[in-house]
Structure 1
Amino acid sequence: MAPHGRAALVRAVAACPGCREEQALHCLVCKLGHASDVVMATALLTCYGKRGLLALAQRLFDEMTRRDSIAFNAMLAALGASGRTADARRLFDRMPDADRTPASWNTVLTCYCRAGDLASAREVFDASLRATTSSLVSWNAMIDGYCKAGRMDAAQELFDRMTGSSPRDVVTWNTMMAGYLRRGDPAAAIAMFRRLMQQQTLRPTTVTMATAVSACAQAGDLALGREIHLSIRRLGTTADAVLSNALIDMYFKCGSVDRALEVFVTMPGGAPNLFCWNTLIAGLGRNSRGEDAVRAFRDMVEKVVKPDAVTFVAVLSACSHSGLVAEGRELFAEMLPVHGVAPRMEHYGCMVDLLCRAGLLGEATRLVRAMPVRPNAKILGSLLLHAHAHARGPGPEQGEEDGVRVGQWAAEQIAELDSHDGAAFGLSNMYASLQRWDHVEMHRRRSKMMNAARANGKEPGRTSYII
């Protein structure tokens, strides 16, 4: 086959839309007598690896009569993408030293980091240093592994060693900033950002700015967040959806609603995506702008942006914080039939919180009892808390459930989930506050019996109150 025809076939292999087409091309390659062509075989091998067709990739690799470093690296990448770390290491150990390129070391190192085996990853990293085949990618991969594992001391130690032949790039700085932010140390992330901005050779990226803005949101530092926003404009940094979303979230968390709305309505590059809408709705709810959050939800749907489970948590929470009972009921009722989003535990939790805050304990209890799955301790704890307050009030409203009986039922349900979560203590307190000392003593005896049964490995009998 002429060189141009061979190149066209390789491009066709790389552009295959699915595995059937790949296998058909594989058969064609064999019929044309190019099965031994290392370039052609490697192109197919890479495609199989990207599709997760590991068995086909392994078979093709084993049948190759000649392999170069690119073929070895393609097989290593396929094994690594499938989580076959041990197999990737065995293949790496079989490779001739001449074929071990920096990409080979990086692939094995990344495999170990992804598997959480940082000891083996560090062993490979140190070996690559001794073999003088390490690259900036190796340093960044090892630092990223430490950061994702929360080992910021080890990550900082490597970061400080990066000089001379392994200078830091902006990815290195971004990785360290994200690591500190993930650990809940926004001050360290901000300090890292300030050091980066003092560099004369590196230009911050949108990821850099988004991470710094997120650190400001976590620290509640509106002044610095505003300063970074002005720097973004001054430097001409493109505010993509990720950076815009970080700015909106930062302004909302710092209480600057108007600036958050300004960023949202002036987003460049087209319409806001679902993540930005979710941040907008959640931010409005967090700042007691529940009616605006509901309107934003309706606007989003009108603009044919399909809501997801996160959207409904945001809008139902907004209704709860603003006391919008009717709106919350309506939104919850239309989740599945209108938007195709099945209510989850967190959505039921929002509705229980909304109804309990509005004093509708009976409706909240009926909703919990009608749940298709068993309620968790958080939902039951909310019922117990509000039942306590309801029982201490001037008396149940007409049609409302009795707070004491709701509290009894919720506490028993929690106790069946976990005997150490404090439900028994909460119910005893409720009885004591009502001066129902006979109930206090009875409940304490029952709790002791249930705990003793659990200690003996027996399942205590269930109690179900009629509510």
Structure 2
Amino acid sequence: MQLRMLSNARAALIRSVADAPGRREEHALHCVACKLGLAADVVLATALLTCYAKRGLLAPAQRLFDEMPLRDAVAFNAMLAALGASGRTVDARKLFERVPDRTTASWNTMITCYCKAGDLASGSEVFDASLRATASNVVTWNTMIDGYCKAGQMDAAQNLFDRMSSSSSSSPSLDIVTWNTMMAGYLRHGDPATAITMFRRLMCKTKQQPEQTRMMPTTVTMATVVIACTQAGDFTLGRRVHLYIRQLGTRIDAVLSNALIDMYFKCGSVDRALDVFATMPDAPNLFCWNTVIAGLGMNGHGEDAVGAFRDMVGMSRTRHAIRPDGVTFVALLSACSHSGLVAEGRRFFDEMGLVHGVEPGEEHYGCMVDLLCRDGLLGEAVRLVRAMPIRPNAKILGCLLLQARRSSEEEDGVRVGEWAAEQIAELNLHDSAAYGLSNMYASLQRWDHVEMHRSMANAAPRHKQPGQSSCIGCTN
């Protein structure tokens, strides 16, 4: 009877550990396990170790592992993963060398540790060793491919992919994760065209497979190719992919919905974008709301963007409460700017910190300066920039300089242009600022100032900060 009670207690504790909402609960369950004499149970101890590791509590995880009287492969792998997640690759390798019976999961965990740390050379070394030990599987290969992709070594990733796709290779067959990893890798490193090519290859391959064993694209596959179509501007294929999603009955989650919404907005199909948003199977998250607000603003529907923002904020009284963030306000203020909603823009800018707890940053000030300058309110824009708690960047100053040139018939415009040019000059963009200012003076036929500023530009050192454009208003 007592044995049965302990067995039931063990099972209950394991379930409780897995569902523990926080550190305090985990510690309490650990204490209960010790009192019941179950702390030495390898399954229960491993479950606790995993929970500690997920919360970044490496010290108690390590102590628990060290105190375990018996350790199986699962316990070793859990500790390996904990060390790898904490960036302790040297300690992980030492532990790996001590694993008595390495499983495929042990090799995969060690490869993941190195890839996460960016040590692809060591990761490749362990990968090759796993092949020699005949301890690899498709997860091993996918892990190494993912490591190469995240490091931008697409040639190395493609080489492994090609080896897997070769019928004469001893490697495991490609699975949908392999395809998704390669597509995401190309997309992440600015090559959406190749990501689309990979998708087309996948579709050809699936058509050649028997229906019973056909490798079907997943939600991740579809989201990746939709984003690739958007980046490549291939909206025709994007629409066809959306139709294919409907035909397959692919599960549409927030990520895929957001990708479709963004694609339709960027190709100008506002109604279709809003239809995807309205028919989302789950409540939209903050990313989807931000995309809708930005998309409406981008397409000249500023008032609708404001309405969408109010709808989102109005949900705060429901169980789907969403708080706007800095990205939300960039989208909202940009929408106000593109539609000339000056009063609304001022109000939202003022409410950012006071009502929503979002401190205005560089981009928000840039949106406001753009909004005011578009409406010809140069003086108000200058006052806002002078009151900024952070130094204005070249984009903000360039906006002032451009508006000053448009207002160059007035002396105020010249003074603002001079001030903006001086500020830009301090950002190591003197040549562009000086020439921009000289063009403004030329429009006033003040040739003495033109000659002076062009001489300054020619005499100034022509060096740029790495990664910056020499054009006024551009920062990379």
User: Structure 1 length normalisation: TM-score?
Assistant: 0.88
Alpha-carbon distance in 1 for matches of 2:128, 2:426: 51
Match of 2:393 in 1: 376
Contact 1:414 1:421 in 2 (8 A): no
Contact 2:81 2:109 in 1 (8 A): yes
Match of 1:167 in 2: 173
- Which letter maps to 1:428? S
* Structure 2 residue 263 is the aligned partner of structure 1 residue 250: yes
Q: Give the direction of change, closer, same or farther, for the CA distance of 1:222–1:34 in structure 2 (3 Å limit).
A: closer
Alpha-carbon distance in 2 for matches of 1:295, 1:87: 54
* Structure 2 residue 432 is the aligned partner of structure 1 residue 422: yes
Offset at residue 333 of structure 1 (A): 2.0
Alpha-carbon distance in 2 for matches of 1:431, 1:122: 61
Offset at residue 34 of structure 1 (A): 3.8
Offset at residue 165 of structure 1 (A): 4.5
* Structure 2 residue 105 is the aligned partner of structure 1 residue 118: no
Contact 1:289 1:322 in 2 (8 A): yes
Single out whichever of 369-378 and 428-437 deviates more from structure 2.
Answer: 428-437
Alpha-carbon distance in 2 for matches of 1:421, 1:58: 58
* Structure 2 residue 313 is the aligned partner of structure 1 residue 301: yes
Match of 2:42 in 1: 38
Q: Give the direction of change, closer, same or farther, for the CA distance of 1:222–1:16 in structure 2 (3 Å limit).
A: closer
Contact 1:278 1:311 in 2 (8 A): yes
User: Structure 2 length normalisation: TM-score?
Assistant: 0.87
Contact 2:424 2:430 in 1 (8 A): no
Match of 1:228 in 2: 241
Structure 2: tracts of 5 or more residues without a match = 317-321, 464-476
Contact 1:245 1:279 in 2 (8 A): yes
Offset at residue 12 of structure 1 (A): 3.0
- Which letter maps to 2:174? R
Match of 2:105 in 1: 103
Offset at residue 420 of structure 1 (A): 5.8
Alignment of 1:177-326 (within 5 A): 177-198=183-204, 199=206, 200=209, 201-269=214-282, 271-304=283-316, 305-326=322-343
Q: Secondary structure at the match of 2:426?
A: helix
Contact 2:430 2:460 in 1 (8 A): no
Q: Give the direction of change, closer, same or farther, for the CA distance of 1:419–1:195 in structure 2 (3 Å limit).
A: closer
Structure 1: tracts of 5 or more residues without a match = 455-467
Match of 2:472 in 1: none
Single out whichever of 296-305 and 189-198 deviates more from structure 2.
Answer: 296-305
Alpha-carbon distance in 2 for matches of 1:46, 1:300: 37
- Which letter maps to 1:29? A
Offset at residue 369 of structure 1 (A): 0.6
Contact 2:264 2:270 in 1 (8 A): yes
Alpha-carbon distance in 2 for matches of 1:406, 1:283: 33
RMSD of aligned residue pairs (Cα, Å): 2.4
Alignment of 1:389-408 (within 5 A): 389-391=406-408, 395-396=409-410, 402-408=412-418
Offset at residue 443 of structure 1 (A): 4.4
Q: Deviations over 1:150-192 (max 9, x none)?
A: 2221111111111455111111111111112222222211111
Q: Percent identity?
A: 74
Contact 2:431 2:460 in 1 (8 A): no
Alpha-carbon distance in 1 for matches of 2:234, 2:348: 34
Counterpart among 146, 149, 158 of residue 147 in structure 1:
149
Contact 2:302 2:341 in 1 (8 A): yes
Q: Secondary structure at the match of 2:300?
A: coil
Counterpart among 430, 434, 441 of residue 431 in structure 1:
441
Alpha-carbon distance in 1 for matches of 2:299, 2:377: 24
- Which letter maps to 2:323? K
Match of 1:365 in 2: 382
Q: Deviations over 1:39-61 (max 9, x none)?
A: 33222222211221111111222
Match of 2:419 in 1: 409
Alignment of 1:49-88 (within 5 A): 49-88=53-92
Alpha-carbon distance in 1 for matches of 2:58, 2:431: 46
Q: Give the direction of change, closer, same or farther, for the CA distance of 1:240–1:12 in structure 2 (3 Å limit).
A: closer
Q: Deviations over 1:254-305 (max 9, x none)?
A: 1212211221222223x32222121111111111222222222222223334
Q: Give the direction of change, closer, same or farther, for the CA distance of 1:257–1:419 in structure 2 (3 Å limit).
A: closer
Contact 1:248 1:264 in 2 (8 A): yes
Offset at residue 409 of structure 1 (A): 1.2
Match of 2:366 in 1: 349
- Which letter maps to 1:411? A
Q: Give the direction of change, closer, same or farther, for the CA distance of 1:419–1:290 in structure 2 (3 Å limit).
A: closer
Alpha-carbon distance in 2 for matches of 1:190, 1:236: 21
Q: Give the direction of change, closer, same or farther, for the CA distance of 1:28–1:248 in structure 2 (3 Å limit).
A: closer
Contact 2:127 2:140 in 1 (8 A): yes
- Which letter maps to 2:437? L
Alpha-carbon distance in 2 for matches of 1:421, 1:74: 58
Alpha-carbon distance in 2 for matches of 1:348, 1:238: 40
Q: Give the direction of change, closer, same or farther, for the CA distance of 1:158–1:421 in structure 2 (3 Å limit).
A: farther
Q: Deviations over 1:209-257 (max 9, x none)?
A: 1111111211222221111111111111122222111111111111212
Q: Give the direction of change, closer, same or farther, for the CA distance of 1:86–1:420 in structure 2 (3 Å limit).
A: farther
